[in-house]
Structure 1
Amino acid sequence: MSQHDNPITQLLRDVPFMVIDGALATELETLGCDLNDSLWSARLLAEAPEKIRQVHQAYFEAGADCAITASYQATIAGFMQAGMTASQARELIRLSVTLAIEAREAVWQGQSDRPKPLVAASVGPYGAYLADGSEYRGGYDLDRAGLVDFHRERFELLLESGADLLAVETLPSLDEALAITDLLAEHPGAQAWITFSAKDGEHISDGTPIEACAKALANCPGVAAIGVNCTALAHIESLIAAIKRACDLPVLVYPNSGEQYDPVSKTWHPAACDHGGPSGLVQGAEQWLAAGASGIGGCCRTTPADIQALADWRRAR
Structure 2
Amino acid sequence: MTMTTTAPPRFRILDGAFADELVRATTSPTCAPTRVGRRMHPHAPIGHPSRPRKLCFGGCRHPLTSTYQAHPDNLAKHLGLDYARSSALLRKGVQLALDAAPDKQVAVSMGSYGATLADGSEYTGAFVDELGADALPALTAFHQLRLQAFGWGGQGVLDKVQYLAFETVPSVVEVRAILAAVSQFFAPIDGSAARPRVWISLTCCSATETGAGDPIDLVAREIHAAGHLVGINYSQCRGSNPEIVVYPNKGQRWDAVARNWIAGSGMDDDNYAQVAVQEWIVPFGPLVVGGCCQTTPETVAALVRARQVMQRGNEVLCVYQT
Instruction: Give the shorter-chain TM-score range.
Output: 0.7 to 0.9
| Corresponding residue to 1:164 among 162, 165, 172 | 162
Unaligned runs of 5+ in 1: 1-14, 109-116, 244-250
Cα 1:266–1:194, aligned 2, differ >3 Å: closer, same or farther? same
| Corresponding residue to 1:199 among 192, 205, 223 | 205
| Corresponding residue to 1:87 among 84, 87, 107 | 84
| Corresponding residue to 1:185 among 168, 183, 186 | 183
1:270 aligns with 2:276: no
* 1:176 corresponding residue in structure 2: 174
1:214 aligns with 2:211: no
State the distance in 1 between where 2:77 and 2:60 align: 34
| Matched AA of 2:106 | V
State the distance in 2 between where 1:312 and 1:279 align: 12
CA drift of 1:49 comes to 6.1
Cα 1:181–1:19, aligned 2, differ >3 Å: closer, same or farther? same
* 2:279 corresponding residue in structure 1: 287
Deviation per CA, 1:146-185: give whole Å up to 9, x if none: 1110111212333531221110000010111111111222
TM-score normalized with structure 2 length: 0.79
Alignment partner of 1:235: what SS? Answer: coil
CA drift of 1:62 comes to 3.0
| Contact persistence 1:21–1:66 (CA under 8 A) | no
Deviation per CA, 1:248-300: give whole Å up to 9, x if none: xxx000011222111122101221588xxx94135423431221200011111
| Contact persistence 1:198–1:205 (CA under 8 A) | yes
Deviation per CA, 1:201-232: give whole Å up to 9, x if none: 111100011111111222104x1x10110010
Q: Name the Cα RMSD after superposition.
A: 2.2
| Matched AA of 1:151 | H
| Corresponding residue to 1:56 among 45, 52, 57 | 52
1:97 aligns with 2:94: yes
TM-score normalized with structure 1 length: 0.81
Structure 1 segment 38-77 matched on structure 2, within 5 A? 38-46=33-41, 50-77=46-73
Unaligned runs of 5+ in 2: 1-8, 188-194, 311-322
Residues 185-194 or 147-156, more deviating: 185-194
| Contact persistence 1:232–1:258 (CA under 8 A) | yes
Alignment partner of 1:234: what SS? Answer: coil
1:27 aligns with 2:21: yes
State the distance in 2 between where 1:159 and 1:307 align: 32
Aligned-pair identity in percent equals: 28
State the distance in 2 between where 1:85 and 1:133 align: 26
CA drift of 1:310 comes to 1.7
State the distance in 2 between where 1:60 and 1:272 align: 30
Aligned length: 277
